[in-house]
Structure 1
Amino acid sequence: MTNILGFGGNFGNWRQPNDNFSPKPESLAILPEEVTQIVDVISLYSRIIVFLSSEGKLYQTDPNQFQEKLKAIEDIPPIKSICAGYYHILAISDEEQPKVYGWGNNDSGQFSNLNKQIEMRKPTLIKGLEKITFHEIYCAGYGSFFLNTTTNVLYGCGDNYNSELGVLDYQSKEQIIKLHENVVKVFSDHSDHVFIIKTDGNLYGFGTNQIGLCLNNSFSFSFSFSLRD
């Protein structure tokens, strides 16, 4: 297996069961021997860490319990991509007709029409995507995004309080809606702002701008702008 090193606080139980802070990289020894390569790693503020192997399997730490060897999450098809918002995770299956699985907190509608109060500890199939063709997934804050790379249409759901979905409605979007057209690529992370590249070659951003994240003079929300304007 590819050697994985980590450092920092251990509250997520990614190494031996203690809360010590590691200032230097330490070897990660909780993955089973059959894992030949890790292709992606994501984490939540709730201290959960998820590893995606080259075989399309997911391995998840438990912040409440140290596990000598992580076991692969069962009952899901091979996964090709994962992403994480503040407190939720998305995973897209490696199939001809991809499926999206979500788990974590859903108090802001991050998982579309599932119960807003539910907390899912394991991947659960997200409904509402059956009639939408999509190829890539992204997360930002409390929002989820689904991109069709053929039509360049971006869909999404979740919280829109800080306009992190890039629309003018401040309400949470519990249903998956069409957000933006002509989108080629999305850049996002845990924060409440998102950047997208469109087919015109310009870079656009939206979301909260309270500390100038979108590079303009407004301290309010920036819904859409171009860095070339």
Structure 2
Amino acid sequence: MTNILGLGGNFGNWRQPKNNFSTKPESLTILPEEVTQIVDVISLFTNRIVFLSSEGKLYQTDPEQFQEKLKAIEDIPPIKSICAGYYHILAVSNEEQPKAYGWGNNNSGQFSNLNKQIEKKKPTLIKGLEKITFHEIYCAGYGSFFLNTTTNVLYGCGNNYNSELGVLGSKSKEQIIKLHENVVKVFSDHSDHVFIIKTDGNLYGFGTNHKE
């Protein structure tokens, strides 16, 4: 198995809870032996951690209950990539026609027009993408983005109170809408701002700028 190290607060989220704080990197103990390689790791503010294996399987911790060995999430196709916002997770399937799944907090329409589900632990197919071709996913604080790398069109949904989606209007967007054209890359994290690179090679930013 790939040797993944962690440090900082533990609380049983990434290794056996021998102590609650680690000042030096320590190996994970929660992944099963059949996991040969981890290709991506994301985490939420709620201390939930999600691991993506090279086989396209997802493993996630439960902040409320320590598991000695994690089990792969079932009822989901092989996954190509994952991302995390403040309290929500997106995953895109590794299929010819990719599908997007979301779980966690949907209080700002991060999962399109699904019912507002709080701390949902299992991936749910995101509705509203059936007629949209996309290849890559990105998460902002309370927003979700879907990029078509063939046409360079960016779609999105979620919180837009501070123009996190880069469109006019202050309300949350619970429908997946067309946002920007000529986009080749998106940069975002748990913050309320987003950067995009366009085909002209320039970098653009939008969202919260209260700290300039």
Q: Common fold, TM-score beyond 0.5? A: yes
The AA in structure 2 aligned to 1:75 is D
**Contact (CA 8 Å) 1:78, 1:93: kept in 2 or not?**
yes
Aligned residues between the structures? 212
Q: What does residue range 1-229 of structure 1 map to in structure 2 within 5 Å?
A: 1-11=1-11, 13-17=13-17, 20-212=20-212
Following TM superposition, by how much is the alpha carbon of 1:12 offset from its aligned partner in structure 2, in angstroms? 5.8
Distance 2:102 2:12 in 1: 20
Superposition misfits of 4+ residues, deviation over 4 angstroms: none
Mark the CA change 1:19 to 1:104 in structure 2 (over 3 Å): closer, same or farther: farther
After TM superposition, the score normalised by the length of structure 1 is 0.90
* Matches of 2:12 and 2:203, distance apart in 1: 35
How far apart are the structure 1 equivalents of 2:78 and 2:70? 17
The Cα RMSD (Å) is 1.0
Q: Distance in 1 between matches of 2:106 and 2:21?
A: 30
Question: Structure 1: 5+ residue runs without aligned partners?
Answer: 213-229
Worse overlay, 86-95 or 61-70 = 61-70
> Share of identical aligned residues, percent?
89
Pair 73,150 (structure 1): closer, same or farther in 2 beyond 3 Å: same
Letter in 2 for 1:35: V
TM-score (norm 2): 0.98
The one-letter amino acid paired with 1:28 is: L
Contact 1:42 1:83 in 2 (8 A): yes
Provide the C-alpha distance between the structure 2 equivalents of 1:174 and 1:36, rounded to a whole number of angstroms: 38
3-state SS of paired residue (2:190):
coil
Instruction: Flag structure 2 segments of 5+ consecutive residues without an equivalent.
Output: none
Distance, in Å, in 2 between the alignment partners of 1:12 and 1:155 is 37
Measure how far apart 1:168 and its partner are.
Answer: 1.3
